[in-house]
Amino acid sequence: MKQDRSMDEVPAYFSELGRLRMLGGDAALDFANTRHWRDGREIDFLTGYRALIDWAVVAGLLSRAEHDRLRDAEAIMPLQAADVFSAAVRLRDIWKIYLAEATRTELPTDLSQPLDAVRHLVTKALGAPLAIAGLPADTLAGADMALSLARTALAIGAFLALPHAGTLRMCEADPCGGVFLDTSRSQKRRWCAMDSCGNRVKAQRHRLRMKAEAVEPPKR
């Protein structure tokens, strides 16, 4: 997503926890951003299998027809759906650890351990005969339940393996934890979005500046 793109054009996932805009610039990063800080607390937008497949449609990883098929299948195979959801959360959380290390700027860090962990989970997610190519559901049986996980793993694998436009960054608003690709011309994007994290940081700085000015003795 380019920095100057209108916020009205950004896809958003709507859930009972609120709106989650796809600000990462890549589905793999938007997946990591399903858990981040907002209003002083950490929110996990992936609350269950249904939330996972709902989000995957907005992220462009599932078609609406695939989503509806999986929604119906969840009622028949709830245990398989729960297993897929657990695997997706594990992949997401390890992926976030890697991204946090990859975006650190203070000290150099060894990315080999978190990267190996991510690659292991991606490989595991793609190990079953999943419907990556959109095969009919009746040829896949229970394996089709993991379609959202497989597509997400593919997105992460592609992000790691292929060149991508922009620089990987983490939002400088504290706390936030959102990651994104900086595709701006100046390569100086600092926040998920100016209308949220950017405004919050500027408001905090203004309050601190006014507080400091209030306690400083007048100059003679």
C-alpha distance from residue 62 to each of 5, 193, 205 (Å)? 24, 26, 41
pLDDT by residue for the chain (220 residues), tens only, comes to 344 445 557 899 999 898 999 999 999 999 999 998 877 789 999 999 999 999 999 999 999 999 999 999 999 999 999 999 999 999 999 999 999 999 987 766 789 999 999 999 999 998 754 444 444 444 444 558 999 999 999 999 999 999 888 889 998 887 788 999 998 887 778 777 655 574 554 445 434 454 445 555 556 6
Q: Which two tokens stand for residue 81?
A: 């759906």
What 3-state class would DSSP assign to 185?
A: coil
Q: Where are the domains of the chain?
A: 7-166
